[in-house]
Amino acid sequence: MSRPIDSGLADAAIAACGDASARALLDDWLSERDARCALFLDVDGTLLDIVETPDAVRVPDDLRAALQSLHRQLDGALALVSGRPLAQLDDLFAPLRLPASGGHGAQWRLAGGQPLQQLPAAHLSAPQRDQLLALARRHPGVLAEDKGSSLALHYRAAPEAGPALEAALERLLRGPEGAGLRLLPGKMVFEVLAHASDKAQAIRRFLGEPPFAGRRPLFIGDDHTDEPALALMPQLHGLGLSVGRLAPGARAAFDHPRAVRETLIQATRRTQA
């Protein structure tokens, strides 16, 4: 497992250099008005700080305004690419409704006014859901988050449960009841998905349709769940930036979601000046 880039004095110096590079790359990219670019953004851990529970996060007003401005500047080619369901994203960023992909690619909407689309049969069965919820109950402090197409088990409040939880999930997925499921580890969370899509496939889907088609993509993410999308960027002559660590496929890393927010907000303020 990768070590956070801000651990230790030596790592802090590397992080500061990496953060400056990431800020400069994003700022340069946003300044290329004639480059026909598309911006794809993870949410938790990238735009927003990770907090104790998923429903405790809040979107700052200046970030919401910056995203609205960038969406307009890019002629609509800005999308949120998240593990959250689209309904949660809409609630978080309301009244702003952006193009978005939720559930790690299981759901998507190409424009704010369009209806939600989703992969067929991307839902956990009732017996699968019941087994996962029972597993969460056996580990005090583990929070179960039912997303429909997946179920996430957060163990941030009980980090000592992580190894046992992972072993139990792997046993479950090896059995007949685990058919069609896959395990996706993240930051203090294990997520069981009922589909094979990921954020890279979500971005490819966007890039096949207007207003994203024909544009050079940039993706910013932080977690292991974002690595397929980051690895895709060089293949598409795009740019990948990560947060908290230099992830595979990323050119540079921001040290904290705050740095991503500040860069986006400052860039839009310059264009409005």
List residues with catalytic annotation: 42
Cβ atoms 151, 144 nearer than 8 A:
yes
Cβ atoms 57, 49 nearer than 8 A:
yes
Measured in whole angstroms, the distance separating CA 254 from the mean position of its chain's CA atoms is: 15
Q: Which residues contact 43 (CB under 8 A, 6 or more apart)?
A: 80, 82, 84, 89, 92
Q: Which residues contact 69 (CB under 8 A, 6 or more apart)?
A: 268, 271, 272
Beta bridge mates, 243: 254
Count how many Cα atoms sit within 13 Å of the Cα of residue 229 in the half-sphere of its side chain: 35
Q: How far apart are CA 22 and CA 1, in angstroms?
A: 22
For residues 192, 196, 197 and 198, what is the CA-based torsion angle, rounded to 10 degrees? 60
Residue at 92: amino acid letter: L
From the number of C-beta atoms within 10 Å of its C-beta (0-12, 13-18, 19+), residue 191 rates as buried
Q: Which residues contact 208 (CB under 8 A, 6 or more apart)?
A: none
Q: Which residues contact 200 (CB under 8 A, 6 or more apart)?
A: 228, 229, 231, 232
